[in-house]
């Protein structure tokens, strides 16, 4: 059974559900070809309407983390099974990356004396 944490964020609800399902895939060690919970199970777990859950699943499909096999369900793809800390498709500033690693970025103006 799918257990959830409360969804509270400034992100859209569909993005929160997408992130929660993505976390579920990682935390449960699902591999390529493993089935994810059904729409009905996700609706019950998050207390949301079907359209919100469908939008989240559509986002997962667009990111190629999940594939739908009509009449059978949704399944994890090989891409979702990868554990990538920073995917190349996500843009992040150098300053934030350095801060996450414990460094402080400075700007210095170098001028001849």
Can you list the domains of the chain with their CATH numbers?
A: 13-87 (1.10.10.10)
Whole-model pTM? 0.61
Instruction: For residue 66, list its beta bridge partners.
Output: 76
| 111 backbone φψ class: left, alpha, beta (φ>0; ψ -120 to 50) | beta
Per-residue pLDDT of 72-91, as tens digits, reads: 999 998 877 665 556 666 67
How far apart CA 17 and CA 57 sit, in angstroms, is: 8
Per-residue pLDDT of 23-74, as tens digits, reads: 888 888 888 899 999 999 989 988 888 998 999 999 999 988 899 999 999 9
- Beta strands 66-69 and 73-76, pairing class: antiparallel
How far apart CA 63 and CA 41 sit, in angstroms, is: 21
């Amino acid at each position: 059974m799918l257990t959830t944490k409360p969804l509270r964020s400034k992100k859209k609800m569909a993005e929160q559900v997408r992130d929660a399902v993505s976390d579920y895939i990682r935390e449960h060690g699902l591999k390529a070809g493993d089935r994810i919970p059904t729409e009905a199970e996700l609706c019950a777990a998050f207390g949301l309407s079907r359209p919100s859950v469908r939008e989240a699943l559509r986002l997962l499909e667009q990111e190629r983390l999940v594939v739908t096999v009509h009449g059978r369900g949704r399944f994890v793809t090989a891409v979702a099974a990868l554990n990538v800390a920073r995917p190349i498709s996500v843009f992040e500033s150098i300053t934030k990356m350095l801060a996450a690693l414990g460094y402080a970025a400075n700007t210095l103006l170098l001028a001849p004396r």
